[in-house]
Amino acid sequence: MYKNTLLNCRFSILYRIFAFDKQYVYQMRKAVTLYELNQLVSDTIAASMPDEYWVEAELAEIHEVRGHCYMELIQKEPFSNTPVAKATAKCWKTKWMQIRPHFERITKQRMHAGLKIMLKVHADFHAAYGFAWIVTDIDPAYTMGDMARKRQEIITVLKREGVFELQKELVLGMFAQRIAVVSSANAAGYGDFCNQLECNEYGLHFDIELFQAVMQGEQVEQSIIAALNAINERIDDFDVVVIIRGGGATSDLSGFDTLALAENVANFPLPIITGIGHERDESVLDMVSYARVKTPTAAAAYLIGHLAEVLARVEDARSQIVSYVRRRMEHEKLRLNALSNKIPILFSAVKVSQTARLNSLFMRTVSAMNRHLTAEKHHLDMLSAALFPSVRRRITAEYHRLEMLVQRTDAVNPDILLRKGYSITLHNGKLLRDVRSLRVGDEIETKVEHGSVRSVVKAEE
What would the DSSP string read from start to end of 211-267?
EE---SSTTHHHHHHHHHHHHHTTGGG-SEEEEE--SS-S---GGGS-HHHHHHHHT
Residue 420 pLDDT exceeds 80: no
Contact 75, 83 (CB under 8 A): yes
Contact 259, 154 (CB under 8 A): yes
| pLDDT score at 449 | 78
The model's confidence at residue 165, banded by pLDDT at 50, 70 and 90, is very high
Q: For residues 16 and 372, which has the higher predicted lDDT (pLDDT)?
A: 372
pLDDT digits (tens, 9 = 90+) for 178-200: 999 999 888 888 999 999 999 99
Residue 323 to residue 395: CA distance in whole angstroms: 93
Q: Tell me the mean pLDDT in the region 371-396.
A: 86
For the entire predicted model, the pTM comes to 0.54
Q: Fold for 34-150, please state it.
A: OB fold (Dihydrolipoamide Acetyltransferase, E2P) (2.40.50)
% of the chain exceeding 70 in pLDDT = 89
- Straight-line distance from the first to the last Cα atom of the chain, in angstroms, rounded to the nearest whole number: 183
In CATH, the number for domain 164-310 is 3.40.50.10550
| pLDDT score at 340 | 82
Domain ranges of the chain: 34-150, 164-310, 417-457
Q: Tell me the mean pLDDT in the region 285-305.
A: 92
| pLDDT score at 79 | 64
pLDDT digits (tens, 9 = 90+) for 149-164: 788 888 889 999 999 9
| pLDDT score at 303 | 96
Residue 173 to residue 240: CA distance in whole angstroms: 8
| pLDDT score at 11 | 47
| pLDDT score at 321 | 93
pLDDT digits (tens, 9 = 90+) for 321-350: 999 999 999 999 998 888 888 888 878 888
Residue 75 to residue 86: CA distance in whole angstroms: 7
Residue 253 to residue 389: CA distance in whole angstroms: 132
Residue 9 to residue 47: CA distance in whole angstroms: 9
Residue 7 pLDDT exceeds 80: no
